[in-house]
Amino acid sequence: MRKILFFYAVNFDSFFTYLISEKRCSTHTTEAYQSDLTQFIAFCKANFEVESFTGVTPTLVRSWMASLMESGAKPSSIQRKISAINSAFRFLLKTKQVSSNPAKGLKKPKIPKRLPQYIEQAPMLKFYTDEQAVQDFPSLRSDLIIKLLYETGIRRSELIGLMEKNIDFSAQTIRVLGKRNKTRIIPVGRPILDLVKHFMQEKSRLNLSSVEGNLLVSDKGRKISNSLVYQTVKSYLSTVTTQTKRSPHILRHSFATHMLNNGADLNVIKELLGHSNLAATQVYTHNSIEKLKGVHKLMHPRNK
């Protein structure tokens, strides 16, 4: 990562090292923060002739945010940029290079809530009623990927990290390692456990079992990649929907929405999804309400 001099005074290599080693930020986040800081520095110099980080004031940061809004930047992008400045000045405070944080308490633009996209229940169930006998290992793996994602609501990263030892056939559960290394137990049905067992047998027969013990492996016996999971899901969803977004996360949204529509308690869905708070799960109630509104508008005699 290239060096970035903050107002000719601070070498921010240590800040980026701090983000990666202590804050556990991804390389993608760290590089985005680097770009944001570079942009902020240029704005300070060009518009306010400020060449010292000690000269940055809350008014200056607000002016930068206003200029971003005027330029048409998305609220989510502006929020991240402000977070970058906030994190940078928190680091400077921690290392005693400044006495205050000019970005602290700054009111960020609100991000409009988007309802989670999902696949209707009928097309998903059609996948089960129309399925044909699986002929080869890749097809068996694709079948298992779709069913695990849809029947458990786990994330793509959690699916990839699923180990054979995480499957409890007698208790009919799987143990999932989620965000922030939190573990959760998810109940699964006997049919998918039978599919898992069949997949493991085929894997062993073809001598593709991974040394690490990963459940899902490539044709060469290695841990499956993000792209393989994405392409598998995209290929299936293209046969049942015309919506443009066809990512593995759509199956997670479908799992939660169908569970809710069929009477599952919101707190149960929260635990199954591994959400840290109920607010993150409540977004699925909006899908149900919107669907009810549509049915009401279509069917109620006073609306005709």
pLDDT in tens, 190-236: 999 999 999 999 999 999 988 789 999 999 999 999 999 999 999 98
Whether 202 is in a domain gets the answer yes
| 285, 163: one domain | yes
Give residue 286's pLDDT: 66
**Same domain membership, residue 202 and residue 285:** yes
Q: Please enumerate in sequence order all residues whose Cβ is within 8 A of that of 220, keeping only pairs 6 or more positions apart, or say none.
A: 208
284 annotated active-site:
yes
Containing H/E element for 11? Answer: strand 10-11
User: Of 155, 156, 203, 246, which is the active-site residue?
Assistant: 155
Together in a domain, 73 and 126: no
Domain count, the chain: 2
Say yes or no: 282 and 219 in one domain.
yes
Point out the catalytic residue in the list 203, 252, 253, 270. Answer: 252
Low-confidence ranges of the chain (pLDDT < 70): 1-12, 112-115, 131-134, 286-304
Give me the CATH number covering residue 274.
1.10.443.10
Per-residue pLDDT, 176: 95
Domain membership flag for residue 104: no
Q: What range defines the domain where residue 25 resides?
A: 5-94
Any domain includes 30: yes
126 and 259 within one domain: yes
Q: Quick one: 181 and 237 in the same domain?
A: yes
Would you say residue 147 lies in a domain?
A: yes
SS3 188: coil
Look up residue 193 and give its two tokens.
Answer: 């456990």
- 140 and 11 part of one domain: no
Q: Are residue 39 and residue 187 in the same domain, yes or no?
A: no
164 lies in a domain?
Answer: yes
Q: Which pLDDT belongs to residue 3?
A: 44
Q: Can you give the pLDDT at residue 197?
A: 96
DSSP string, 55-122: G--HHHHHHHHHHHHHTT--HHHHHHHHHHHHHHHHHHHHTTS-S--TTTTPPPPPPPP-PPP---HH
Q: Is residue 89 part of a domain?
A: yes
CATH (domain of 25) = 1.10.150
89 lies in the same domain as 11: yes
- Whether 249 sits among the annotated catalytic residues: the reply is yes
Q: What is the pLDDT of residue 230?
A: 96
- Is there a catalytic annotation at residue 252? yes
Same domain, 281 and 145: yes
Active-site residue, 275 included: yes
109 in a structural domain = no
| Cα separations in angstroms, 129 against 82, 123, 198 | 50, 10, 19
User: What is the H or E stretch that residue 35 is in?
Assistant: helix 27-48
Do 88 and 126 share a domain, yes or no? no
Q: Which of 179, 205, 222, 291 is catalytic?
A: 179
